[in-house]
Amino acid sequence: MAGTRAAIRYAKAVLSLAQEQKLEDTINSDMKLIASTIADNVALKLALQNPVVRSSVKKSIVLEVFKNMNPLSANLVDTLIHNKRISAIGDVASQYVVLYDHLKQIQVATVTTAVELSDDLRAKVLGKLKELTGKEVEIKSVIDESILGGFVLRIGDIQYNASVSNKLNKLKREFTLN
């Protein structure tokens, strides 16, 4: 909990600086890259969290992995190193993206399908979501073969389940109740 609060504070500070310098979009790209890279790379995450690894080594790792980041993002790395919080960089980056989306009124919709969405279908879903929410919408695509077919759409705290597995489960419940 304390780590999350600290991550939110750092993210708010970076967003504020980015807004002052009109760099919030650029920093958002950096933060998305940092958050996804750390989430996907267990070795990197463990190296940053390892208390035996020196701060200077952690800093060089981060700067090497994220060579093309904006100087403001690099300043965040320096600040986190100085405050001995570099292990929280993934959380800070994730919180920044959440704050940025809230600032720009961007909704993130998660679409779970059994196979990859085609570009045409993705565009149709995006258009329908924009129409329904009245906000800018970003689609996060998740592939889960266990749903067999159809899709599961989650936007905010609303979920619409049009998967084949859900329909089969409903039929199964109906038959067992009768």
Q: What is the pLDDT of residues 128-151, one digit of tens each?
A: 888 888 888 888 888 998 888 888
Q: Helices then strands (H, E): number in the chain?
A: 8, 4
For 169, the domain range is 106-177
Clarify whether residues 86 and 146 are in a common domain.
no
Clarify whether residues 70 and 16 are in a common domain.
yes
* pLDDT over threshold 60, residue 67: yes
β-pairing, 136-143 vs 106-113, is: parallel
How far apart CA 134 and CA 91 sit, in angstroms, is 29
Rounded to the nearest angstrom, the gap between the alpha carbon of residue 82 and the centroid of all alpha carbons in its chain is 26
- Quick one: pLDDT at residue 19? 95
Domain with residue 83: its CATH number is 1.10.520.20
Clarify whether residues 94 and 113 are in a common domain.
no
Clarify whether residues 61 and 113 are in a common domain.
no
* Cα–Cα nearest to 34, from 8, 2, 16, 61: 61
Domain with residue 136: its CATH number is 3.40.30
Produce one character per residue of 101-124: b if its CB has 16 or more CB atoms within 10 Å, e if not: beeeeebebebbbbeebeeeeeee
* Cα–Cα nearest to 111, from 158, 166, 146, 155: 155
- Quick one: pLDDT at residue 10? 95
Clarify whether residues 18 and 73 are in a common domain.
yes
If one counts the domains in the chain, the total is: 2
Query: pTM score, two decimals?
Result: 0.76
Clarify whether residues 14 and 92 are in a common domain.
yes
Clarify whether residues 12 and 97 are in a common domain.
yes
Clarify whether residues 39 and 11 are in a common domain.
yes
Report the percent of the chain where pLDDT is more than 70. Answer: 98
The string of pLDDT tens digits covering residues 82-118 is: 999 999 999 999 999 999 998 988 888 899 988 998 8
The string of pLDDT tens digits covering residues 18-60 is: 999 999 999 999 999 999 999 999 999 999 999 999 999 999 9
Clarify whether residues 62 and 126 are in a common domain.
no
